[in-house]
Structure 1
């Protein structure tokens, strides 16, 4: 009797596993069947996702990545604007298939959604006036550093320079102006923001230096629902093909490269998030 019961338990477990596998496979099949991949992006996060005033459509780095992945999956991409606060919840609730919204990996987020391979790396850096004897981040210990309130910069400053005084400002312009006016010795923000600010200074940009190494590093992945292993495999395969073809470099150059306001060089490649 016990043997029979065990046999039936094994049969039922096998059926459940097969049923689950079918459901998971059907999720990717559904995207291919309808021919549409719904991708959530931010629409106020230039240059990664923002509304073009001329076309009134959402464009940017994340949008191009979504479009490229969609082509690899054989699907037309539907861009869905999302807010920072609701982006993970909307993905979990099935309002989109893929989330490309500047989503930096953290252990907590890793429990909420599945992350693709890294498709972008954003470094948090420090800017100082050149020629003042400060050449590495550690030399800002004990000094005043500006940052934007509510940004991750504050945590990076306190972790890397616990003896520094972090001074929060309401917006980027105010925090940067504090450095320009000599009210602080350093300014902390993402490399994208800082490169754009310095470019706008024109010839005066040479009066400021970006310190290395960075004090913080955010690794971004595309968000996928936890119960979609086939989708995760397909998205990672697409990203790796796009990397090998040079498409990811082309997307970076279009939005952040030498011919843009950001004038940045790509220092990363698509690879698993560790």
Structure 2
């Protein structure tokens, strides 16, 4: 009888500890393209980049097991909607349309929309010179909408790409592409393609992590947001940024 009671108590203890262990190791499935250097990219079969480092640091702080899922950028929002992933770490800019649909963390990257041209194409010195030009953007990105919001948008031919906007600009198939300034500067620095920045950023963008706007999504958002706040306060976000960019792009003071 004593052995039975002891077994029952032991079983109770095991059952009681399982949820706690599961909670500590709860998984967070993070979607990213794996093709947006230096934020998320694959080199020697290893997924790496600024976003990967940030999410791994978030996982450590929040007690979350981070699992990455890579797919085309244009499919990420649909995957989040369908519940196949919990959030997206791919420089998702907060827009009114997205904010109405998703629960966002506080921004963790402050950046700007940048025009990039083939090196030597000095006819385009900024966004005002895109009138009558062919401009490439990544499919599903907010940069298409930024261009469509320009007062002279009907004078700009916008082409959407799954990839290779840099190559087609360098080859002269399009006149320019628009991407965030940080990535644009890194592409020019790291790539052999003949490209140059055209003028200053024409719109500030604030990038954050979107979650489904339901009870479960908001709980996850709050947990990740708290971790990001701690990482910002203790300097970890700044350190990760310095590692990848040589500057701090995680605060409003970033250049």
TM-score above 0.5, yes or no: yes
Paired position in structure 1 for 2:14: none
Distance 1:152 1:97 in 2: 20
Q: Indicate the larger mover: 161-170 or 113-122.
A: 161-170
Aligned match for 1:44, one of 27, 34, 38? 34
- Give the 3-state SS of the residue equivalent to 1:121 in structure 2: strand
**Structure 2 Cα separation of the partners of residues 34 and 116 of structure 1:** 21
1:150-229 aligned at under 5 Å gives the runs 150=139, 152-160=142-150, 162=152, 164-166=155-157, 168=159, 171-172=164-165, 173-178=167-172, 184=175, 187-200=177-190, 208-212=196-200, 214-226=201-213, 227-228=215-216, 229=218
Unaligned runs of 5+ in 2: 1-18
Residues 145 and 188 in structure 1, CA contact (< 8 A), matched pair in contact too: no
Per the alignment, do residues 107 and 32 of structure 1 end up closer, same or farther by CA in structure 2, a change over 3 Å counting?
Answer: farther
- CA-CA distance at 1:92 after TM superposition: 4.5
How many equivalent pairs are there?
Answer: 225
Question: 1:155: how far off?
Answer: 3.9
Q: In structure 2, do the counterparts of structure 1 residues 133 and 30 end up closer, same or farther at CA, with 3 Å as the change threshold?
A: same
Residues 23-34 of structure 1: pairs in structure 2 closer than 5 A: 33-34=23-24
Q: How has the CA–CA distance of structure 1 residues 148 and 89 changed in structure 2, closer, same or farther, with 3 Å as cutoff?
A: closer
Unaligned runs of 5+ in 1: 1-28, 259-264
The residue correspondences of 1:85-104 to structure 2 (distance < 5 A) are 85-104=74-93
TM-fit CA distance, 1:152: 4.6
Partner of 2:91, secondary structure, is: coil
